[in-house]
A = this chain, B = another copy of it.
Amino acid sequence: MSMLKNILVGQSGGPTSVINSSLYGVIEEGLRNKEKIGTVYGMVHGIEGFLAGNFINLSEVADNEPIDRLKITPASFLGSCRYMLPEDLGDNVYDKLFDTFAQMNIGYVFYIGGNDSMDTVSKLSRVALLKKSDIRFIGVPKTIDNDLVMTDHTPGYGSTAKYVASTLKEIILDATCYAHPSVTIVELMGRHAGWVTAASVLARTEYSRNPYLIYMPEHAFDMEEFKKSLKAALEQETAVVVCVSEGIADKDGRFICEYADAASVDGFGHKMLTGCGKYLENYVKAEFGIKCRSIELNLPQRCSSLLASATDIDEAEKAGKAAVVAALDGETGKMITFVRDDTNGYEINYGLADVNDICNKEKKFPAEWITADGTDISDEYIKYVRPLIQGTNIAEYSDGVPVHLKPAYYR
């Protein structure tokens, strides 16, 4: 075994279409620093899988396969987990982990994920201090929710915003092509923060205000107000498209989707869980007596590599590389942040922040970017998001279907 320290990298939480670009960045930068780094290992299924002895030699994969395909492979190549390390830093799970790190001669650990994953980086770096270990732990941000604090935005969000805008533009054309009144309700991801829903505003054109109404979880939803706004909208447009966050809630904090769940039971007596879109569809049909359809964009919002933003892919890769550079510079317990510089057009610089200031916090959509009546998004947001959706992914196809790198967990 080489005396050089090795890299260990993991992915955690919900997948995005660019989380593998960050992984690619870590691997590439690791391999490039031949004089400082031995082997690049990957945890399979995050820290949970690693604890169960599941890892992969990524240097070997890079030797034998076109790993730049990671940039066109959505979801977590390494597999993911939703696992929180114990609060008690004296727990023997940490002894087990640091023993394995030592056996594998790990010098640098990178964890690509969102709030919960940064909690893992925080705990591991604090345990390292207690154990006087010199292993360095760096977090690489990832989440379509764009809800991490201390960073201009997060990798994954730009692609989701582009997916939402592009797909909605197509849905609006479909939904408006009949001459008879109709309502189409599109439910978007984001339980607590409306960043994904806000992107629907990008689907507007000079000839149609659709999506006519946009409802965010940051603004209390009221059924009567909705009815009034929809009535007014139907006086302006034959076919009205409404976008709602899955997390819209009333002034008492009760989710609109829960309105349906309380009363809905299927033929076997099982409680039916439905989204707020389906609930509102039902409401509109009953109250307005017109054609209404609801659409939940669902998983493709976070895994559509084919419609990813090239800017997002590029930034995600650079975030991975910046993490390796930071670790080699001696940093630990930090997350890579995006710092926007608008001096000469849009530019991103890669900074560092203490993970303890980030984990378990949530960046809401700014209240001042939502109009007073809670049905629209301001131009400030458009100015903020526009650069993040620039450029299109160049997919690779074989026999008519997209090509991906075979996931680590299928090896």
> Are B174 and A75 in contact, with the CB atoms below 8 A?
yes
- Are A81 and B179 closer than 8 Å at their CB atoms? yes
B45 contacts A178, C-beta separation under 8 Å:
yes
Residue from B282, B386, B399, B407 in contact with A272 in the complex, judged by beta carbons closer than 8 Å = B282
Q: Establish whether residues B300 and A81, one from each chain, have CB atoms under 8 Å apart when the complex forms.
A: no
Q: Is the CB of A76 within 8 A of B177?
A: yes
Contact indicator A75/B177 (Cβ below 8 Å)? yes
B400 lies within 8 A of A390 (CB): yes
Partner among B174, B389, B399 whose Cβ is within 8 Å of the Cβ of A400: B389
The smallest beta-carbon distance between A144 and chain B, in angstroms, is 11
Q: Which one of B76, B272, B386 contacts A274 once the chains associate, using CB atoms below 8 Å?
A: B272
CB contacts under 8 Å to B, within A145-171, are: 162, 165-167, 169-171
User: In the bound complex, do residue A170 and residue B266 qualify as a contact, i.e. CB atoms below 8 Å apart?
Assistant: no
CB of A303 closer than 8 Å to a CB of B: yes
A62 at interface, CB cutoff 8 A: no
Q: Which residue of B lies closest to A238 (CB)?
A: B409
- Interface: A321 (CB within 8 A): no
Chain B's closest residue to A296 (CB) is B296
Q: B295 touching A266 by the CB < 8 A rule?
A: no
Q: When the two chains form their complex, are residues A173 and B390 in contact, meaning their CB atoms are under 8 A apart?
A: no
Residues of chain B lying within 8 A (CB to CB) of residue A409:
176-177, 179
A300/B167 contact (C-beta < 8 A), A207-B406, A267-B262, A401-B203 known: yes
A267, B259: Cβ atoms closer than 8 Å: yes
Known contacts A207-B406, A274-B274: A170-B300 contact under CB 8 Å: yes
Question: Within 8 Å CB of A173, what residues of B?
Answer: 15, 73-75, 303, 404, 407
Tell me the minimal C-beta distance from A21 to chain B in angstroms.
Answer: 14
CB proximity of A396 to chain B, nearest CB, Å: 10
Q: Is A360 an interface residue (CB 8 A)?
A: no
Inter-chain contacts of A82 with B (CB < 8 A): 178
Contacts of A305 in B (CB 8 A): 170
B179–A49 touching, CB < 8 Å: yes
Partner among B170, B259, B296 whose Cβ is within 8 Å of the Cβ of A304: B170
Within 8 Å by CB of A392, from B169, B178, B304, B395, lies B395
Instruction: Establish whether residues A207 and B410, one from each chain, have CB atoms under 8 Å apart when the complex forms.
Output: yes
CA distance A164 to B114 in the complex (A): 29
Which residues A250-280 have CB closer than 8 A to chain B? 259-260, 262-268, 270-274, 278-279
Question: Does A230 reach chain B (CB closer than 8 Å)?
Answer: no
Q: Is the CB of B303 within 8 A of A400?
A: no
Cβ-defined contact, A299 with B410, below 8 A:
no
Q: Which residues of B contact A402 (CB under 8 A)?
A: 166, 169-170
Of the candidates B49, B176, B303, the one whose C-beta lies within 8 Å of that of A407 is B176
| CA gap between A293 and B300 in the complex, in Å | 13
Q: Is there contact, CB below 8 Å, between A263 and B266?
A: yes
Within 8 A of B (CB), among A382-408: 386, 389-392, 395, 397, 399-402, 404, 406-407
Whether, in the assembled complex, A127 has its beta carbon less than 8 Å from a beta carbon of chain B, the answer is no
Contact of A309 among B270, B298, B390, B400 (CB under 8 A): B400
Are A74 and B400 touching (Cβ within 8 A)?
Answer: no
A279 to B283, CA, bound (A): 20
Q: Indicate the member of A178, A271, A309 with the most B CB atoms within 10 Å.
A: A178
Closest B residue, CB atoms, query A78: B177
In addition to A166-B401, A264-B265, 8 A-B residue pairs with Cβ atoms within 8 Å of each other are A15-B174, A48-B179, A75-B177, A167-B300, A177-B409, A202-B400, A260-B272, A274-B278
Q: Can you report 12 A-B residue pairs in the complex whose CB atoms are below 8 A from each other?
A: A45-B179, A79-B179, A170-B305, A171-B300, A207-B407, A259-B267, A260-B266, A264-B272, A270-B283, A272-B282, A295-B298, A391-B400
Closest CB pairs A-B (n = 10): A389-B400, A75-B173, A174-B303, A207-B410, A45-B179, A75-B174, A76-B177, A270-B286, A295-B298, A263-B267
